[in-house]
Amino acid sequence: MAMPAFVLLLLPLISFALSSPVQDPELVVQQVHRSINASRRNLGFLSCGTGNPIDDCWRCDPDWEKNRQRLADCAIGFGKHAIGGRDGQIYVVTDSDNDDPVNPKPGTLRCRLGYFHVVNNDYTHWEMYAIGGSAAPTINSQGNRFLAPNDRFNKEVTKHEDAPEDEWKNWNWRSEGDLLLNGAFFTATGAGASSSYARASSLGARPSSLVSSLTGGAGSLSCRKGKRC
């Protein structure tokens, strides 16, 4: 089963305190259009360009593996100056098992603590659950497709771990615009106020009906060290 992609938002309080609104949103939009047009003009049979300025920023560099956080510097638009995990350690997900979300082994991923925006992913035939958490994370699930396995005991998308129901029922977990198939169901919890998910939002979710086309090329890149990716 293909590894699901997550958009993880672990935003420290200080980043919100120091953030400031964009002075001229229209100017930012114009800069994005110029970047996209410039990348498209460079497309050609022998070009490594894709037409996506963010991808072209790092994939055309043969030494991409020497600075894997460079992607954070390639951002355009309203996220251009966000540092995200640029200065942090690289965490490589190599194992899709979710057998111990409380004390996860290296190489696995779930949602233990923090803010998570799960958007436009395709989850199919999970073994236990698709999304789990154990330390009161905020989970905002939007525009995903959840195809449950045939096992009638594993239809639930969510798994609240390491807490009694009277505690996890207050965790902010919501499903918005998700497509639930083959009996899949999402247990939403928490107050449900839109403001509580402000930190668990990263981009506008596309309709779940588009997930197939959005994830058609998903998966690991066939990149080799010393060559353009």
Sign of CA dihedral 86, 89, 94, 100: negative
Tell me what the mean pLDDT of segment 188-201 comes to: 74
Strands 179-181 and 145-147: what pairing? parallel
Phi and psi torsions of 93, nearest 5°: -90, 120
Mean residue pLDDT across the chain:
76
Contact between 133 and 101 under an 8 Å Cβ cutoff? The reply is yes
- Give me the pLDDT at residue 55, please: 77
pLDDT band at 16 (very low <50, low <70, confident <90, very high): very low
pLDDT tens for 202-228 read 677 888 888 887 777 677 777 788 887
Q: What angle do CA 7, 127, 203 make, to 5 degrees?
A: 15
pLDDT band at 19 (very low <50, low <70, confident <90, very high): very low
Q: Which own/partner pairs from 100-105 qualify as long-range (CB within 8 Å, at least 24 positions apart)?
A: 101/132, 101/133, 101/134, 101/159, 101/161, 101/162, 102/134, 102/161, 102/162
pLDDT tens for 51-94 read 778 777 877 788 887 877 777 788 887 777 776 666 767 666 66
Tell me what the mean pLDDT of segment 164-183 comes to: 92
Q: Is 12 helix (H, G, I), strand (E, B) or coil?
A: coil
- Give me the pLDDT at residue 58, please: 79
Residue 194 has pLDDT above 90, yes or no: no
Full DSSP string of 153-166:
TS-BSEEE-SS-HH
- Give me the pLDDT at residue 2, please: 44
pLDDT tens for 105-161 read 665 656 777 888 888 899 987 888 889 888 888 899 999 999 999 999 999 999 888
- Give me the pLDDT at residue 172, please: 92
Torsion (CA) 162, 95, 110, 104 in degrees, nearest 10: 40
27 vs 7 pLDDT, higher one:
27
| Residue whose structure tokens are 């055309």 | 60
- Give me the pLDDT at residue 145, please: 95
Residue 6 has pLDDT above 60, yes or no: no
Sign of CA dihedral 213, 218, 222, 225: positive
Phi and psi torsions of 209, nearest 5°: -65, -15
